[in-house]
């Protein structure tokens, strides 16, 4: 099983330093969500929200965060989308596809 949601519950290293709670699901909801994801055996979450295409592992889950197709942030790279390939064994491979400039 995989999960799909808009805001990640963990923070990747590709974000600039910022103490605002905007970037991730915050406690107490974060802790409750992570407990549920682990109980369900979720190992991969497809997410968005950051306008940055990145993949990272945190809290025992690999987070696949899609870039934006319509609005770039100053530090977010190029516009594009994420193409996810999911195997029958539940492995997820993410390829970031840039949109033509």
φ, ψ (nearest 5 deg) of residue 65: -105, 125
CB 93 within 8 A of CB 9: no
Mean pLDDT score of the chain, rounded to an integer? 90
More confident residue, 78 or 73: 78
pLDDT tens string 58-67: 999 999 999 8
Report pLDDT for 21. Answer: 85
Domain of residue 92 covers: 3-98
* Cα dihedral: 14, 3, 36, 6 (round 10): 50
Domain count, the chain: 1
Q: What is the pLDDT of residue 86?
A: 95
Residue 44: Cβ within 10 Å count: 21
pLDDT value, residue 101 = 56
pLDDT per position as a tens digit, 12-60: 877 777 878 888 999 999 999 999 999 999 999 999 988 888 999 999 9
pTM, full prediction: 0.89
């Amino acid at each position: 099983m995989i999960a799909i949601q808009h805001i990640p519950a963990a923070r990747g290293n590709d974000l600039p330093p910022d103490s605002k709670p905007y970037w991730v699901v915050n406690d107490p909801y974060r802790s409750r969500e992570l407990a549920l994801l682990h109980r369900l055996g979720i190992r991969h979450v497809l997410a968005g929200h950051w306008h940055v295409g990145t993949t990272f592992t945190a809290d025992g889950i690999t987070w696949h965060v899609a870039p934006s197709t319509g609005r770039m942030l100053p530090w977010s790279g190029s516009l594009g989308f994420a193409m996810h390939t999911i195997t029958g064994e539940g492995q997820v491979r993410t390829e970031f596809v840039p949109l033509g400039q």
